[in-house]
Chain A
Amino acid sequence: MTLKERFMKRLIGGGTDFVPVGSTCAYGMVELMQRCGYERPLADTDPVAMAALSLAGHQYAGFEWVKAMGWDITSLSHAMGCSLGEPAIDLPYYIKTHPFEDRIEALDCPADLTERGRFPAFRRQFELIRQSVGNELAVFGMSEGPFTCAANLVGTEKLMKMTIRETAKVQAAMDVTVAAMIKAVNFAFENGADYYCIADPTSGTDLMSPRTWKQIMLPAMKKIVAEARGPIVLHICGNADMIVKMMCESGVAGISIEEKTNLEAAVETAHSMGVKVFGNVSSSDTLFLGTPEQCRAESLKALEAGVDFLAPGCGIAPLTPLENVLQMKEARDEFLPAATRP
């Protein structure tokens, strides 16, 4: 069985006793850029550089699946009108303007969405990755989720207040971003993605209440999952304890959570609903700032808690030491019986 077959069997098939190791969020690490010879901003915009950095995750960090579609979560918002701040080698693109701040009613899903922004470069990136990995490795696409995208377009503070006072307007804006999301997701599947990760940090409970999540995010996610031509993984930052069940109810194949979420409880809930769990080695505390020993120990803890895919809890910080990231694979190999290792 190839790594891709094993990965997909674990995500949507009958399951295996093999725990793949990798990242379902961004891994735009400076050390990987230096190893593959392509640094930002080229690694954010040029398909050859983007594909090389995607593959560097497998070649140098030991990841058993690879990512397409950039190293930040701005691409959908950018294609819909947000302008971006200039990246540096250790700073990804970030949202600079909220073009619909005073005209939420004008929000619209462009017919040519996947011809805008970096989408044409993503198309070529998928092509290059597929040429290199064939059917050996699973490839995923990723972007910001529908609420985060709406918050980028309208302004987070403004949209947050509107969730209470002007719910109908928020729903209307979400209808637009959900439509855009479906286009982006299916763009990825048409171009060879095996699954798609939706990252929606702005809908995490650090900002949004579980009741609002139920009212606004849950129906949005259900619609996206229903229209997607492949499996979806939902990533939420921070402590997701109060929404794990709803995340699973949305119909996704997997959820991705941070170390602030109770992993044992999340695994129990997710597994009872047939959903897989990615995570949850701390991106900041452990991988970025910790020692290799701490990275290894936290990886083992996640494996013992029953994680299905061993991965960082969130995007890997650019200046994270590669040695730390490699400990995830070391720990996985130590944890699994030799016969099940790739």
Chain B
Amino acid sequence: MSSKEELLQKLHDTVVAFDEEGTRQAAEEIVSGGHDPLDAVMNGLAYGMETVGRLFKEQEYFVPEVLLCADALNAGMAVLKPHIPSSGGDNSLGRVVIGTIQGDVHDIGKNLVKLMLDVGGFTVHDLGNNVPYESFIEEQERTGAEIIGISAMLTTTMMGMKKVIELAKKKDPRIAVMIGGAPVTPNVVKLFKADGYAQSASTVVAEAKRLMGAFCPAQ
């Protein structure tokens, strides 16, 4: 039987190698061996995804590889999650409402950002794609999220992000809004008065943490 350290390494390696079956098996061994499933998520799966993020940043991996790594991670999560006892409280780093803006059905980038935030310790409320402007605000109100994340793939739909930012700030200036997507540049962020920006999924967790430090939670 493999030791806990070996299994954690196996979880990491199989996620990086997008070996879905290998990740599932390692996760099952964690459970059958009586090891801590939360430890396996954080120091096996999430650690693997961190490596994937680095490889993505270094342009060794591209979106297809990251998508397959995400599938492996999800396969491991499906095995481990039912065995993680609920802490009874909210121990996440923060809450994020995320979605692709109205008129835009592209969601690969948004899904990767969601995954990175999830793995990075945030609670993510995903509204999907083609999300009406008001729905971001309604979901923020429902969940008490500190951050709204908006994605746009098209220059034509990008202007909608500005409208959501205006709506959010009108409701509560303490809500942090971060934006991203192919047409979004630092200049757009400035013009739209967004609080945060991630050029790619690999930098989104750091940016979300920065926003959590910079903004008071909108409770």
Q: Which residues of A contact B (CB under 8 A)?
A: 85, 88, 90-92, 94-96, 156-157, 160-161, 163-165, 205-209, 212, 237-238, 242, 282-285, 288-289, 314-315, 317-319
Contact = CB atoms under 8 A, between A and B. Distances in A.
A212 B61 CA distance: 11
A212 B62 contact: yes
Contacts of A285: 185, 187-188
A83 to B, nearest CB: 12
A283 B62 contact: no
A95 B154 CA distance: 12
Nearest to A319: B159
B191 interface: yes
Contact of B155 (A165, A206, A208, A315): A315
B82 interface: no
Given A94-B105, A157-B67, A157-B108, A289 B62 contact: no
B68 A165 contact: yes
A156 B157 CA distance: 19
Nearest to B103: A91
Interface in B53-74: 59, 61-65, 67-68, 71
Interface of B: 18, 59, 61-65, 67-68, 71, 103-106, 108, 111, 130, 154-159, 182-185, 187-188, 191
A298 to B, nearest CB: 12
Give the 8 A-B residue pairs with the shortest CB-CB distance, closest first. A209-B62, A317-B155, A284-B183, A160-B64, A284-B155, A207-B63, A285-B187, A285-B185
21 contacts: A85-B130, A90-B156, A94-B105, A96-B105, A156-B108, A157-B67, A157-B108, A160-B63, A161-B67, A161-B71, A164-B64, A164-B65, A208-B64, A209-B62, A242-B59, A282-B185, A283-B183, A285-B185, A288-B155, A317-B158, A317-B159
Contacts of A163: 64
Nearest to B159: A319
Contacts of B71: 161
